Chain A
Amino acid sequence: MNSLSEITVIKRKVLKEVATLAWADRLGEIDALPKRLTKEGITNYRCCEYRERAILADRIKLALGATIDGEDEERLSSIAEEKIAQQETDNEQPLISVLAKACDRCPIDKMVVTNACRNCVAHNCRNVCPRDAITIVNQRAYINRERCVECGLCAKACRFSAILMIERPCTRACAVGALQPGANKITEIDHEKCVECGACIEACPFGAISERSELLSVIALLKDKGVSTHALVAPAVAGQFGPMVDWPRVVSGLKKLGFSGVVPVALGADVVGKAEGEELAERKQEGKILFNSCCPSFKNLIRQKFPSLAHAVSGTKSPMLVTAELVRQAAPTAKLVFIGPCLAKKGEAKHEGNGLIDAVLTFEELTAMLVSANINLAECEPAVSSEGEPMPSARGLNFAKAGGVLAAVTGTDRDEETKAIAVAGLGNCQDLLAKIARGTETYDFVEGMGCEGGCVGGPGTLVNTKAAVRALQKTTEKKKKGVA
């Protein structure tokens, strides 16, 4: 996450309100929520309150775990009822949706001539255009849309920077080209191409793209005193809940919320680091390349765009699944909830989880749940770790940041012949994979991360990447000094 916008705050308020009603078994009152929220001040963003409420209703549907493509007439309370009755989360439906009512239908013409055009004598724009698309009309350069191929050469050639190359923030953010203006110019997502990285959600300044939540099923699990539910918390947790909240406070807060056990996924990361290190040694002997298996967006990208490289992905399970197996061994009937910065983990849990993971929450969704249950982590009594409780190493924790997996897998004593590289950001991953597929670059090990900065830059985080990395460093330094 980078900057925090009003949009993010609205989304969080909705999550909090929905969670509050769910805890109190008062979801029947949810039909009144959009109106209440606009009365409480969410009104300034659209043409009128009614549109704002319609958009809020869509946000509420997503928070309930429903999709927003269905009939508008269906009442929120009946959707909530259906969702509560439904035991399993409906995972076949798309995770990320466009809120059509919120989409501003940004212009789709990429090349735009501005007032700064002085109809100069040189006409560099016209001269450089490979398609003769530019003419001079009314003392100004004019671009013929039928001919323009949006190459951008005219924008570069203009000495006055009078031609802009603009793109919708959502389509620009999507490295795999899954977003395109569809009918009525509203953005549509091609779910065959989408790798569920969530970059578009953060990119849209109108908050018109959002994801479905599994809040309701987690609250139902926690309320059921007959089941024991364990939280598996991703290594990116460091610093996520603010400067006053360390790991022991997170543990105690989650237990207050109703989790029977709280397990750091960095424990699984330690196992994965070792296993992939051994795999690397084997593959090197065979002259084969190895990719990390922990980032689901990276794996989705390979599956969809570079199937010829699918063999390179490590056969080791991800830290989430390895940790889940560890917990299951000790508590065979426990329900497991993964909590992390990632949206794509929701897909990984359903496709590769074999039913091990019952639900996936982001840090953002968890925090909304904590606030709705009146739990302030900053004032929680730090949990005391019991004797012999396994603790993750700094290496395992560092899986959370770009380069951390590479460091763990190749090891500190790595021989200089190991050619390894770490890339973060889906676009960068794609560029590198293309070179590897073409054979123009060769490596022994590649760490690919869908999000800039690694998991700490994920869409479900609460603090900016810089602050998260700082907090992570603090934690790992403490580890190295031997302080718990």
Chain B
Amino acid sequence: MAILMVSVCAGTSCHLLGNQAIVDVLENMPPSLQKQVEFGYTSCLGDCGEGPCVTIGDKVLKHASPERVLDMIKEELAAKK
């Protein structure tokens, strides 16, 4: 099974705008998702005003919220299959 790479921008701007909430969600994903996703950190994706930014596969999600990150992970996984 191919693993989906997710990286959360840990730059100071995205940190201020709430990347913590996204990290919390990624750390507590249901086991079925955890097996298919690997997440790490990056800095910076160059869109500081529009954070928090998250890269999911090869797409960049701006103004990310925990819900939108999870939805997009599911979409990307479904598209891969």
Q: Which residues of A have CB within 8 Å of B24?
A: 3-4, 464
Q: Which applies to chain B's interface (DSSP): helix, strand, loop or mixed?
A: helix
Complex partner residue of B12 from A4, A8, A9, A371, CB under 8 angstroms: A371
Question: Which residues of B1-44 are within 8 A (CB) of A?
Answer: 10-13, 15-21, 23-24, 41, 43-44
- In the complex, the answer to whether B17 meets A244 with C-beta atoms within 8 Å is no
Contact stretch, chosen from A48-56, A120-128, A374-382, A441-449 = A374-382
User: Do A243 and B13 form a contact, CB below 8 Å, given A3-B21, A4-B18, A462-B20?
Assistant: no
Chain A 244-256, CB-CB to B under 8 Å as 1, else 0, gives: 1100000001000
Within the complex, the shortest CB–CB distance from A469 to chain B, in Å, comes to 14
Question: Does A12 reach chain B (CB closer than 8 Å)?
Answer: yes
In the complex, which of the residues B12, B15, B41 has the most CB atoms of chain A within 10 Å of its own CB atom? B12
**Contacts A371-B12, A378-B11, A464-B24; is A242 near B19 (CB within 8 Å)?**
yes
Q: For chains A and B in complex, what number of residue pairs have CB atoms within 8 angstroms?
A: 65
Q: Is the CB of B15 within 8 A of A462?
A: yes
**Interface contact B17-A13, CB-CB below 8 Å:** yes
Task: Return chain A residues, CB-CB under 8 Å to B23.
Answer: 467
Q: A294-311, CB under 8 A of B: which get 1 and which 0? A: 000000000000000000
* B: contact size bracket: 10 to 19
A370 at the interface (CB under 8 A from B): yes
Does A16 interact with chain B (Cβ within 8 Å)?
yes
Q: Is the CB of A371 within 8 A of B48?
A: yes
Asked whether, in the complex, the Cβ of B44 is within 8 Å of the Cβ of A378, the reply is: yes
0/1 per residue, A358-385, Cβ < 8 Å to B? 0000001001101100111111000000
Q: What is the minimal beta-carbon distance from A354 to any residue of chain B, in angstroms?
A: 33
**Which residues does chain B contribute within 8 Å of A399, judged by CB atoms?**
none
Cβ-based interface call for A241 (8 A): yes
Shortest distance in angstroms between A462's beta carbon and chain B's nearest beta carbon?
7
Report A334-366 CB contacts with B as 1/0, cut-off 8 Å.
000000000000000000000000000000100
Complexed CA–CA distance, A376 and B17 (Å): 13
